[in-house]
Amino acid sequence: MNITGINHITLNVRSLKESLAFYEDILLMKRVHLGRTDAYLESGTAWICLLEKGKDEKDDFSSKLGLDHFAFSIDEKGFHEVVRRLHINEVQIVRGPVERGGGLVVNFLDPNGIQLELNTSDLHTRMKHWQ
């Protein structure tokens, strides 16, 4: 496997408006995309997705806030080999592998239940394909 760097981090937030004010006005990140419940921001080579979570009466709202998943960049050459190794080692795959946002993506859980993602795309390619 050839991880080439951190791809992105997706954060579940209470209020997209409030979070945008923090990340844009205080951390001076540049907004690349604004959707109804999501926003993508970048600063240098770092990029994040803010994902607004609504309150569900059945769930504890506070448990939904914070890290949604952490994504690593990987080249396409090594992607399918890693997916094969995930299957062989019976790693729980949450989504994929699928084509998404102009690249290949697979989401899976580490031994602690933390969701990780391997992604062959980059922010600007993803924004060309994002709705």
Question: What is the arithmetic mean of pLDDT over 83-103?
Answer: 91
Bridge partners (DSSP) of residue 104 are 99
Angle at 61 between CA 35 and CA 12, to 5 degrees: 35
Domains in the chain: how many in total?
1
| Residue 45 to residue 116: CA distance in whole angstroms | 19
Look at 107 and 26; give whichever has higher pLDDT.
Answer: 107
pLDDT of residue 17: 93
Longest dimension (CA), the chain: 46
Q: pLDDT (tens digit, 9 = 90+) per residue, 20-76?
A: 998 888 878 899 999 999 999 998 888 899 999 865 545 554 457 888 898 888 888
128 Cβ contact partners less than 8 Å away, ≥ 6 residues apart: 102
The 3-state DSSP class for residue 84 equals helix
Which domain does 38 fall in, by range? 3-55+63-129
Query: Which CATH number belongs to the domain containing residue 7 in this structure?
Result: 3.10.180.10
Question: What is the arithmetic mean of pLDDT over 113-121?
Answer: 89
